[in-house]
Amino acid sequence: MTDGILDVLSALTYVFIVLLGFGLAAVVILFVIDVSQKQDAVRRNYPVIGRFRHIFSTLGEFFRQYFFAMDREEMPFNRAEREWTARASKGAGNTIAFGSTKNLDPPGTPIFINCAFPKLETDSAETTACVIGEDVKHPFKAKSFFNISAMSFGALSVPAVQALSHGAKMAGCWLNTGEGGLSPFHLEGGCDIVFQIGTAKYGVRNPDGSLSDDKLREVAAHETVRMFEIKLSQGAKPGKGGILPAAKVNKMIADIRGIAEGEPSISPNRHPEIDNVDELLDFIHHVRDVTGKPTGIKAVVGAYGWLEELCEAIHKRGIASAPDFFALDGGDGGTGAAPMPLMDNVGLQLKESLPMLSDILHKYGLRDRVKIIASGKRITPTSVAWALCAGADFVNTARGFMFSLGCIQSLKCNKNTCPTGITTHNPRLQRGLAPQDKKVKVANYCKNIVHEVEVIAHSCGVDEPRQLDRKHVRIVQDTGKSIPFDELYPRPDILEQYRPSMETIG
């Protein structure tokens, strides 16, 4: 027995010596490499040890998320927001205890104004459906004010799109395809679909990149495709087209988009056919005429003089020429890949652009004609309710639904290495995302957002969320005092010459 123990110890000693030898050899090799290379000064001056700087820098964002950051500190979404979304997606109880961890003092913080005698839930009305494109051949009666924002197939994986399609059907909300075209996985769940026409016309393009009417009709032939959205710009990269790295352009994605496999998918920074408001209205009319379905635009607002020009051009042509909806993206919106300067500092945030857009449409008597869809970091009930108060008819989110799918904010969307399988086409990583399970979480998240926005509405004394208005919220100022939102953004009077237009449609 003693001899057996000695044999084991001898073997372990031998293994240890061999491993130590390999380790020392590796250190020597790394030392030689580091002192010889000239790209990294730290590694050249501190061979081997200097490599730990890169390791710690890479892991820093993960250490901060789990060990160091407070609940309300992280960007772009903090732990409190992510955990609320996770609980809502699981259908678990979403109450908290002891006290709020949210600092209500920063300027711009919305404070909803509860009334003395709130609405009883038993007396409150169900949220009414909203009709988009009343005058088109196939108007869309949209049931939910909260919906899935544009995320293209390519940026998202197959199981992610499947889960969103089925979950949207269960929740009664719509799913926006994003600019990557219409895939079988969008159609699989039978949900309402908004087809986005990006600047590259993926899915409805001719070989030269121009719009194909035949392919447009093919898409419109699907009954569940309810609307068409012409994308002018998005919040994360205004003035820059979509970016899908070559590593994510497999054969299936290439076929659906109508592009070459294995090459980066870079969209033009605008539609070549649209260089002014008249050409924009021409393009809207053409798509609506070919498809027979509501057609609108998506844009992030920076310069806003063109909005008034658009309204004036609509009245010259007739109110029927207006877009059926305006999907307004905030300048702090998200995406799978974008240049940092555009993502950080270009485009107005919704807190400024949303009331502005609503007021301009109101001033020209077009507010009832053009429905407003707001998107951009609207992942919690408070942010959704604020958008309804500010003037939105609908609120979309992309990243909120990504969290419902299991996103952990690893910030690897553009690397094809997403650890949760949401934004990767690596089969091994996709295996972790089970659509049959995730579709339930997608539906739960949507339903819980809607429910808690209804709770806010009832607290403010109105029957349902679409009755929320600016008078129902106050905004904290630099002084620490809050002022009514309708005083901060008073609604303008309708211009006299456009009052008849308002009467004829009202």
Q: How do the domains of the chain map onto residue ranges?
A: 2-68, 130-505
Percent of the chain at pLDDT above 90?
50
Is 94:448 a contact under the CB 8 Å cutoff? yes
> Which of 23-32, 83-92, 163-172, 255-264 is predicted most confidently?
163-172
Taking the CB of residue 416, how many other CB atoms lie within 10 A of it? 16
Q: Is the predicted pLDDT of residue 39 greater than 80, yes or no?
A: no
444, 422, 448, 446: which is closest to 433 by C-alpha?
422
The 10s digit of each residue's pLDDT in 312-337 is 999 999 999 999 999 999 877 666 56
Radius of gyration of the chain (CA): 26
**Integer Cα distance of 179 and 99 in angstroms:** 43
Q: What is the pLDDT of residue 389?
A: 96
When mean pLDDT is compared across 32-36, 86-90, 349-353, the lowest value belongs to 86-90
Q: What is the pLDDT of residue 161?
A: 94
Q: What's the whole-number mean pLDDT along residues 125-137?
A: 88
Q: What is the pLDDT of residue 98?
A: 67
**Integer Cα distance of 267 and 285 in angstroms:** 23
CA atoms within 13 A on the CB side of 262: 0
**Integer Cα distance of 386 and 377 in angstroms:** 12
Is 177:193 a contact under the CB 8 Å cutoff? yes
Percent helix, strand and coil across the chain, each rounded to 5? 45, 10, 45
Tokens of 69: 């950051």
CATH code given to domain 130-505: 3.20.20.70
> Which of 15-24, 72-81, 154-163 is predicted most confidently?
154-163
Q: Is the predicted pLDDT of residue 212 greater than 60, yes or no?
A: yes
Q: What is the pTM of this model?
A: 0.85
Q: Is the predicted pLDDT of residue 20 greater than 60, yes or no?
A: yes
When mean pLDDT is compared across 85-99, 256-270, 358-372, 450-464, the lowest value belongs to 85-99
The 10s digit of each residue's pLDDT in 105-125 is 889 999 999 998 888 877 666
Q: Is 354 helix (H, G, I), strand (E, B) or coil?
A: helix
Q: What is the pLDDT of residue 324?
A: 98
Burial class (CB within 10 angstroms; exposed 0-12, middle 13-18, buried 19+) of 202? buried
Q: Locate tokens 């807190």: which residue?
A: 351
Q: Is 239 helix (H, G, I), strand (E, B) or coil?
A: coil
Q: What is the pLDDT of residue 14?
A: 78
What strand order describes the sheet that includes 482-484? 110-112, 473-476, 482-484
End-to-end CA distance of the chain: 97
Q: What's the whole-number mean pLDDT along residues 63-92?
A: 67
> Which of 217-221, 490-494, 499-503 is predicted most confidently?
217-221
pLDDT band per the 50, 70, 90 thresholds, residue 505: very low
Is 452:381 a contact under the CB 8 Å cutoff? yes
Q: What's the whole-number mean pLDDT along residues 396-420?
A: 82
Q: What's the whole-number mean pLDDT along residues 444-460?
A: 93
Q: What is the pLDDT of residue 335?
A: 63
The 10s digit of each residue's pLDDT in 222-240 is 999 999 999 998 766 666 6
Listed as own residue / partner, the contacts of 452-457 with beta carbons closer than 8 Å and 24 or more positions apart are: 452/94, 452/381, 453/145, 453/146, 453/381, 453/384, 453/385, 453/388, 454/121, 454/124, 454/127, 455/381, 456/112, 456/381, 456/382, 456/385, 457/119, 457/124, 457/385
Q: What is the pLDDT of residue 337?
A: 60
Angle formed by the axes of helices 305-317 and 350-363, nearest 10°: 30
pLDDT band per the 50, 70, 90 thresholds, residue 32: confident
**Integer Cα distance of 378 and 224 in angstroms:** 25
Per the prediction, the chain carries an average pLDDT of 86
